[in-house]
Chain A
Amino acid sequence: MKEEFVNVGKPVPKKDAYEKAIGRATYIHDLKLPGMLYGKILYSRYPHARIVHIDTSKAEKLPGVKAVLTGYNIPEIRIGFYKDNTPLKKGKVYAMRDEVAAVAAIDPEIAEEALELIEVEYEPLPAVFDPEEAMKEDAPLIHEEHKTNVLRLPWKLVAGDVDEARKNSAYVVEDQFRVTRVTHCCMGTSGCVAVFDPQDNLTLYSITQIPYLAQRDFQEALKAMGLTGKKVRVIQTTIGGGFGSKLDTHCYEYIAILLAHRTRRPVKITFTREEEFKYTSPRQPAIIRIAQGCDREGKLTFRDVQMILDNGAHTSWGATTPSVMMMPISSLYKVPNVRYTAKCVYTNNTYCQAMRGYGNPQATFAIECSMDQLAEAAGIDPMEFRLMNANEPGEVTPQRFKISSCALKECIEAVGRMLNWKEKRGKRDGRGVGMASLIHVGGGARVYKSDGCGTIIKVDDFGKVDVFTGASDIGQGADTVIAQVVAEELGVRTEDVTVIDNDTDVCPWDVGVHASRTTFVACNSALGAARKVKAEILKLAALALAEPEDQLVMKDRVIYSKRNPEKKIELGKLLRGAHYTRRGKMIMAEYFYDPDNEMLDKEFKGNFSMAYAYGAHGVEVEVDKETGQVKILKYVAAHDVGKAINPMLLEGQIYGGAMMGIGYALTEQMIFQDGEMKNPNFLDYKILTAKDVPPMEAEIIEPWEEYGPYGAKGIGEPGCVPSAPAIANAIYDAIGVRIKDLPITPEKILAALKEKEKS
Chain B
Amino acid sequence: MIRYDYLKPSSLEEAIGLLKQYGGQAKLIAGGTDVMVDIRQKKYAPQVLISLRGIEGLSYIREEDGGLRIGALTTHRELEKSPLVRERLGALADAVDNLGSVQIRNVATIGGNICNAAPSADTAPPLLALGASVRIKGSEGERVLPLEEFFLGPGETALKDDEILVEFIIPSPPPNSASAYWKHTRRQAMDLPIIGVAMMLAVEKTEAPALKEAFGREAPLEELLGALDKSELVCQEVRLALGVAAPTPMRASKAEEFLRGKRVTQEALLQFGEIASSEATPRDTVRGAAWYRREMIKVLPKRLALKCLERILHKNQKEGGK
Contacts and interface: CB of A to CB of B under 8 A. Distances in A.
Do the two shown chains form a genuine complex with each other?
A: yes
B190 A682 contact: yes
A451 B189 CA distance: 42
Given A109-B1, A689-B190, A746-B292, A684 B184 contact: no
A688 B189 CA distance: 8
Specify the main secondary structure of chain B where it touches its partner.
loop
Nearest to A688: B187
B192 A683 contact: yes
Given A679-B286, A683-B192, A684-B287, A692 B1 contact: no
Contact of A692 (B188, B192, B288): B188
B287 A689 contact: no
Given A627-B296, A679-B286, A683-B191, 13 more contacts: A109-B1, A627-B300, A667-B187, A671-B286, A678-B286, A686-B186, A686-B191, A689-B190, A691-B187, A691-B188, A745-B186, A746-B292, A747-B289
Interface string B278-309: 00000000111100100110011000000000
Interface string A729-753: 0000000000000000111001000
Contacts of A686: 186-187, 191
A688 B286 CA distance: 18
Contacts of B286: 671, 678-679, 684
A690 interface: yes
B292 A750 contact: yes
Contacts of A690: 189
A686 B192 CA distance: 11
A566 interface: no
A667 B289 contact: no
Interface of B: 1, 184, 186-192, 286-289, 292, 295-296, 299-300
A755 interface: no
A626 interface: yes
B3 to A, nearest CB: 9
Contacts of A689: 187-190
A692 B189 contact: yes
A679 B287 CA distance: 9
Interface string A606-631: 00000000000000000000110000
B186 A691 contact: no
Nearest to A684: B286
Interface in A636-663: none
Nearest to A673: B286
20 contacts: A109-B1, A626-B299, A678-B286, A679-B286, A682-B190, A683-B190, A683-B191, A683-B192, A684-B286, A688-B187, A689-B187, A689-B189, A691-B189, A692-B188, A745-B186, A746-B292, A747-B288, A747-B289, A747-B292, A750-B295
A683 B187 CA distance: 10
Contacts of B188: 689, 691-692
A691 B184 CA distance: 15
Interface centre among B186, B287, B300 (most CB of A within 10 A): B186
Contacts of A679: 286
Interface string A663-687: 0000100010000001100111010
B1 A627 contact: no
A678 B289 CA distance: 15
A680 to B, nearest CB: 10
Interface in A151-180: none
Contacts, number: 40
Contacts of A747: 288-289, 292
Nearest to B293: A747
Contacts of B292: 746-747, 750
B299 A627 contact: yes
B296 A667 contact: no
Nearest to A107: B1
Interface in A680-706: 682-684, 686, 688-692
Contacts of A671: 286
Contacts of A746: 186, 292
A493 B109 CA distance: 53
Nearest to B194: A746
A135 to B, nearest CB: 28
Contacts of B189: 689-692
Contacts of A678: 286
A428 B184 CA distance: 25
A677 to B, nearest CB: 10
B132 to A, nearest CB: 26
B95 to A, nearest CB: 16
Contacts of A626: 299
Nearest to B287: A684
Contacts of A745: 186
B37 to A, nearest CB: 9
A746 B293 CA distance: 11
A750 B289 CA distance: 12
Contacts of A109: 1
Nearest to B286: A678
B190 A627 contact: no
Contacts of A667: 186-187
B272 to A, nearest CB: 15
Nearest to B188: A691
A479 B192 CA distance: 40
A375 B295 CA distance: 34
A64 to B, nearest CB: 14
A746 B287 CA distance: 12
B22 to A, nearest CB: 23
Interface string A173-194: 0000000000000000000000
A190 B188 CA distance: 28
A525 B51 CA distance: 60
A637 B77 CA distance: 37
A692 B1 CA distance: 34
Nearest to A663: B187
CB-CB nearest 4 A-B residue pairs? A691-B188, A691-B189, A689-B189, A626-B299
Nearest to A754: B295
Contacts of B300: 627
A40 to B, nearest CB: 13
A692 B187 contact: yes
A10 B186 CA distance: 38
Contacts of A684: 286-287
Nearest to B2: A109
B59 to A, nearest CB: 27
Interface in A365-418: none
A684 B300 CA distance: 23
A25 to B, nearest CB: 22
A90 B288 CA distance: 38
Contacts of A627: 184, 296, 299-300
B174 to A, nearest CB: 29
Contacts of A692: 187-189
Contacts of A683: 190-192
Nearest to B98: A691
A690 B189 CA distance: 8
A684 B299 CA distance: 24
A747 B187 CA distance: 14
Nearest to A745: B186
Contacts of A688: 187
Contacts of B187: 667, 686, 688-689, 691-692
Contacts of A682: 190
A627 B288 CA distance: 13
A750 B291 CA distance: 11
Interface string A124-147: 000000000000000000000000
A682 B286 CA distance: 13
A671 B287 CA distance: 10
A678 B192 CA distance: 16
